[in-house]
Chains A and B, each alone.
Chain A
């Protein structure tokens, strides 16, 4: 950890830097900003996070990324359970209660997705194992990209669907989100179909994602799975 700390700024470098680690950073316009942000906060974070790093080490995800990953994963599983239960229930008080929870959790996912995207855009993930082919890297990038798109698309289509039905979305009864669009039966039907279709896509990608993680762990025997697991030591390079 000590090695990562104090070197993060140099590892990321400005966009034109030629450090060995720069390959882990996808070139993007945020790089310069990211660089200065990291230098600004490096001291504070590093002195505090020596035991369980909040930020990414070269070989594993940091605590913040792990928190986002596992909390959102648990919420998505819950969302499938609530969504399918609510879908199958007849119109009634029970259905309302189940779907109210579905909406509250969904809005929680949306808020976490915003934070996660901000975090991810300033904290690049550890590099993929060196032995992966271009196709594998492309597949990994596409899968992760699709996850991020769906993390926004799922709650947003759900929120719009509720708006189109004129059923405002509450967050656990504490406050009410504004309606995104006005009442429209046609929009509601379209958004419901979209929300359901996207949930199928999300389910398929999640299965792919898990299979890939297990393939890396049991077949390639690299640290791709372990580096996202809390309470494990995956300090060794993948």
Chain B
């Protein structure tokens, strides 16, 4: 009886070992079958937006943001982007404009210090790259914001470049006078260029 049990245990262990080995072999042989994890290198990456002020476009960048990117071209279903942006790091090359944007009527960084973007579902392949759906939480409001991007492997890791369009008033960025779109347009376009280093997501 004891011998039988041991044999069963041994057999079970053997099956388990075979399964684990098979998974390991598969993972090694077909590395693309799951998404690779990357993190953006802040120094080499850029996250900017273009707004319309007094009829003329202006550009601003966010100096502080983190991006955890899980992506592999042959495992699109597993892709997942998670980007967190420090809104007070906004820089439009004008101090007055930056402090106005941080203020209570626009970003209101005191109450909403960060914006958060998370993709959901796998991206789809397009003629020029990929398109993903995701949700942006900004100023306490979460809305769908689709993105388009390209992905290219590099020596260091990968380069992810893309863009999105949103309306600032959808997120309540613009209270009081700023609800008017005469001085500052509603449409905002976002562009990003992320230098990705291989590494685990947070």
Chain A residues in the interface with B (C-beta under 8 A) = 91-97, 99-100, 103-104, 165-174, 176, 183, 185
B180 to A183, Cβ gap below 8 A? no
Contact A93 B180 (CB under 8 A): yes
Q: How many A-B residue pairs have CB under 8 A?
A: 60
Cβ of A183 and Cβ of B182 under 8 Å apart? no
- Over the window 75-104 of chain B, the binary record of Cβ atoms lying under 8 Å from chain A Cβ atoms (1 yes, 0 no) is 000000000000000001111110010000
Contact, CB under 8 Å: B93 / A97 = no
Chain B residues touching A, majority SS: mixed
Q: Is the CB of B58 within 8 A of A104?
A: no
B100, A97: Cβ atoms closer than 8 Å:
no
Interface residue tally for chain B (C-beta within 8 Å): 20
A166 and B94 within 8 A (CB): yes
B166 within 8 A of A: no
Taking CB as reference atom, which chain B residue is nearest A92?
Answer: B177
Residues in B lying within 8 Å of A, measured CB to CB: 53-58, 92-97, 100, 176-178, 180, 182-184
| Sample (26) of A-B pairs whose CB atoms are under 8 Å apart | A91-B96, A91-B100, A92-B177, A92-B183, A93-B176, A93-B180, A95-B183, A96-B53, A96-B54, A96-B183, A96-B184, A97-B180, A99-B54, A100-B55, A100-B182, A100-B183, A166-B92, A167-B53, A167-B54, A167-B58, A167-B94, A168-B58, A169-B56, A170-B56, A171-B55, A174-B55
Distance A168 CA – B56 CA, assembled complex (angstroms): 6
Report the Cα distance A96→B58, complex, angstroms: 13
Distance in angstroms between the alpha carbons of A167 and B178 in the assembled complex: 17
